Structure 1
């Protein structure tokens, strides 16, 4: 037993209680890296292990990848309150974009910067903020104990107080706060936490920690569209000097980078973009942007300005140019040039973040090799805990297809057609909700051009496709549509590995029973990719550098995609590794995949044996 006072609120699965015991002991000495498969129940196990620490007055920060995921640990904590008597307070923290009542009254989909602008301008006279400052009794909320952002928002709206700053008040008394990574790793946001939470005496839990290596901590992006809108704003305000500068910048970007191939990239120099203009042109553009925001704000429109964003981007690019680990990259995406500030310094920056906390628990289903993960996120003092998979042949049938591959600069017409035929054979056999997760958006597009959608529809499937430019609302609707097809078993999801559906989505039970990996999600060997590899080779040596920057991230993305189909020991799925190169990387895939994989030719895929035909779980 971790503690005699609290009971584990579920019937324990294999290894859960012993892992909780181990975490309790290891935290006395240092940090913990927990790698456990999907379906293990990492969240309740870690909460259970932390109860003795919280009983002694310790506090917990639970960091998740995005704000939309903050509810999960809070809802799990609610189960502990209801079934185990853990009377602690857990709060989900969301940003102003989700919590500002005043901004909501203006209508429209405002972004974070716009809501922050409104808040800074209106706070002193905001009726919701003033009502909170006058004092409000929120003991009712504390009695509930486990508060998602929606719980706080709805209570605050009913009482007429500011939900965002009410959260800040609740932070002062919360035993556990769930928030996005940004509030831990971003210097511009971390003050929100540190001002109300004694981090040096707190334990930090980093959920889905495999995402840490690819955080672009100091990065930013502007597009051709940003520049065009900035020019329009300069014309609108009658500022000829800024107009001339932005017009010249637009011409330079088109001339230098407009001919890049799709997904191609090239290094740019900030001083080249500013050539011919005085150094103060950035500040003049920034001031113009402020005037635009002010004008739009006063008219009731969204207080946004592309000129302001462009100026901030250029100022940052000038300041960071030449810094080791920073790359300024121009790339072509969906036919448009994007200028990126790309920060590769995850290990250097994050090492200081972890030292702010008493202990840190990192957890994910895909951290192997753990030594490489630790090194790339700046972690030196830790003990790994690895949990074996609960899955066997009753859960999964795994096939490695030896005559398919996405290797090469482009997917040939012949290979694309072979993929379409192979997927069709599998779909015709399984007749369950299925997903084809591709190596990239580029490969996804090639398969669509080769007739994948038509082949699936011929077999009676309804196809849902993830687009690169999908809004959160569109993605949610697409996901719901796909899940609603599970009862009939005729949904097909097409999405890239590393995308929102291949990593962030949850598909329990019949919602997803077949995963086909079309390729290995190695990054295309562009200038951007080569810079990343070179930087890692300088840090870790030639051999480790390439593995850390190129190989391991790709296989983690593949493993995440595989894991979408098996979320509990009662789930069953067919898994197809649709690339012969997986044979070379089996040691980096989940243990049950290694043990169950059978090599086949694509023409034999209509003979796959679904596990549900052997045994019903």
Structure 2
């Protein structure tokens, strides 16, 4: 290693960095390491020799909001280890266009791209950038987050997006969302300036890759209703009648679906006989509506345009292996989905466009399953043992609780509430109840969970399906703020925004109670997914990859929220007897520490902080 590791090394960190540095010359790498290990600095340290020889790194994260994390880590290497390389946090036009702010808030990518394409030639910010900007002041900073690039561009009145692209030419490391790697319609804009073939790709939180819906799209009843109103306002009676006919057919065929139930739809069966001509006409009208709104200084959106492009895509993809057209009911409304299950097939070609790839996460086991589902063939596995033991965690597997079956019975819901209340009365620390689904969560609420928790002095925070990002962030802030008093209770589904991706270090979360196993309901959608995987991998393995593996991964992610570092302590409760069948798939500390218990004994559990203070 040519540069000093900027932290006091934790156990195994330098050893793993050395292995990565050696093996990456020959193969791609799958790194499974627990939360708190410090995967990001270890990988950066391992790749410094590659960078110093002129190599480049693409660091892919799950969402745009996470792009600054690797860059901040790179700043530490620059300041403490003397590394003199350029790292950038990269965002798309949606987050970087100054001109788009004139058209409203929360515009989507297509709307901002539309504005940029129409205004670029006369955009004052783009024009000023083309006149010339001294990039050296920014380059000298070495590591620039997205917000730093945005604020610097705003201060001098140039386009942040295209300034970012100028900086790409001199960058050694870029951090961006998965979309800019896996979606060809987006990746071209990056790799034309930052050659992927000369780069090592690092995929952070790589367990998310299997669920990417790469060619998908969705419209709702709301989309159809708004499209109808747009056609009415445009006084195009024929298009309005066409939209109304499609909406009526959707409701006739699928209006009686139960909540969360799904079915297959054929795009052609929903469209009237003359649909080819009418889709073209509806698309043209939608385009004119976008144009009119744009000229009026309004957001250039059109539900009619989205409706038309959705059905054009659905028709084009009909019959393609791995593509399903799914209709489902959520919150009482009908959703039409183009669902792309071909993650492995599509991603296998993506990895070949890089020199090497490093995949890292805390929940990749079994690695063979992970590798097959993302189309990875030749790789070297590094598995880091967990630093957690009985001083960090008390793990209990409840033998007489389960969410098995189509519905959670009143008796079982009451048992769960009793078990959670006993746990809360014993723990008296910030706790998360992560449920198998919103449906299960609703049953617990009906059984009185919230009232009983509040009677114990807990302030309850419940995730809703329709929550906005702003609402979720504020709720999370308020929950974490109760760390000192320890009287916060978070109730949310596994696989949701609070059970994956969120960090709760220290005393912010000290108990996790899993209510059931987050298996997908046996709907048409689930059955199609399993059948497709069975065609790819065989009957037994296909069911495991499509059904069992994703559920246990969600459960493992949820448990991991409470242990973010070697000094964290938590009580972890696996609230379903079926977890015993899958215990081998959990992280090592869960396997080793899990003890059986019955639900009526949970007020006698032993928290690790009663044994030792870390």
TM-score by length of structure 2 reads 0.99
2:502 corresponds to which of 505, 517, 531: 505
| Contact 1:486–1:512 (8 Å) recurs in 2 | yes
CA RMSD of aligned residues (A): 0.8
Q: How far, CA to CA, are the matches of 1:277 and 1:107 in structure 2?
A: 37
1:230 corresponds to: 227
1:601 corresponds to which of 576, 581, 598: 598
Q: How far, CA to CA, are the matches of 2:558 and 2:383 in structure 1?
A: 20
2:75 corresponds to: 78
Q: How far, CA to CA, are the matches of 2:559 and 2:158 in structure 1?
A: 45
1:116 lines up with 2:116 in the alignment: no
1:363 corresponds to: 360
Any stretches of 5+ residues in structure 1 without a counterpart? none
Q: How far, CA to CA, are the matches of 1:417 and 1:146 in structure 2?
A: 53
Question: What secondary structure sits across from 2:395 in the alignment?
Answer: strand
| Contact 1:183–1:190 (8 Å) recurs in 2 | yes
Matches within 5 A, 1:191-590: 191-590=188-587
Deviations 1:259-300 (A, max 9, x none): 100110000001101232241221111111111111211222
Q: How far, CA to CA, are the matches of 1:558 and 1:432 in structure 2?
A: 21
| Contact 2:531–2:542 (8 Å) recurs in 1 | yes
1:25 lines up with 2:22 in the alignment: yes
Deviations 1:101-152 (A, max 9, x none): 1112333322222211111111111110111111111211111111111000
Q: How far, CA to CA, are the matches of 2:60 and 2:303 in structure 1?
A: 31
Q: How far, CA to CA, are the matches of 1:521 and 1:154 in structure 2?
A: 42
Q: How far, CA to CA, are the matches of 1:174 and 1:469 in structure 2?
A: 39
Question: What secondary structure sits across from 1:252 in the alignment?
Answer: helix
Q: How far, CA to CA, are the matches of 1:107 and 1:254 in structure 2?
A: 33
Any stretches of 5+ residues in structure 2 without a counterpart? none
1:13 corresponds to which of 10, 13, 19: 10
CA drift of 1:582 comes to 0.3
Q: How far, CA to CA, are the matches of 1:531 and 1:396 in structure 2?
A: 39
1:129 corresponds to: 126
Q: How far, CA to CA, are the matches of 2:280 and 2:447 in structure 1?
A: 50
Question: What secondary structure sits across from 1:280 in the alignment?
Answer: helix
Question: What secondary structure sits across from 1:576 in the alignment?
Answer: strand
Q: How far, CA to CA, are the matches of 2:97 and 2:419 in structure 1?
A: 50
| Contact 2:345–2:375 (8 Å) recurs in 1 | yes
Deviations 1:532-561 (A, max 9, x none): 000000000000000000000100000000
> Which is worse superposed, 103-112 or 502-511?
103-112
Question: What secondary structure sits across from 2:499 in the alignment?
Answer: helix
1:176 corresponds to: 173
Q: How far, CA to CA, are the matches of 2:67 and 2:448 in structure 1?
A: 39
| Contact 1:506–1:564 (8 Å) recurs in 2 | yes
Q: How far, CA to CA, are the matches of 2:49 and 2:331 in structure 1?
A: 52
Deviations 1:402-438 (A, max 9, x none): 1110111011111111111111111111111110010
Q: How far, CA to CA, are the matches of 1:191 and 1:542 in structure 2?
A: 37
CA drift of 1:48 comes to 0.4
Q: How far, CA to CA, are the matches of 1:470 and 1:52 in structure 2?
A: 45
TM-score by length of structure 1 reads 0.99
CA drift of 1:452 comes to 1.1
Q: How far, CA to CA, are the matches of 2:540 and 2:241 in structure 1?
A: 48
CA drift of 1:258 comes to 0.8
> Which is worse superposed, 452-461 or 178-187?
452-461
| Contact 1:245–1:277 (8 Å) recurs in 2 | no
Q: How far, CA to CA, are the matches of 1:226 and 1:52 in structure 2?
A: 52
> Which is worse superposed, 152-161 or 467-476?
467-476
Q: How far, CA to CA, are the matches of 1:358 and 1:46 in structure 2?
A: 16
1:144 corresponds to which of 135, 141, 158: 141
1:104 corresponds to: 101
| Contact 1:428–1:459 (8 Å) recurs in 2 | yes
Q: How far, CA to CA, are the matches of 1:278 and 1:427 in structure 2?
A: 58
Question: What secondary structure sits across from 2:472 in the alignment?
Answer: helix
Deviations 1:81-116 (A, max 9, x none): 010011111100011111111112333322222211
| Contact 1:61–1:202 (8 Å) recurs in 2 | yes
CA drift of 1:378 comes to 0.4
1:186 lines up with 2:189 in the alignment: no
Question: What secondary structure sits across from 1:507 in the alignment?
Answer: coil
Q: How far, CA to CA, are the matches of 1:312 and 1:300 in structure 2?
A: 24
| Contact 1:265–1:329 (8 Å) recurs in 2 | yes
| Contact 2:400–2:576 (8 Å) recurs in 1 | yes
Question: What secondary structure sits across from 2:36 in the alignment?
Answer: coil
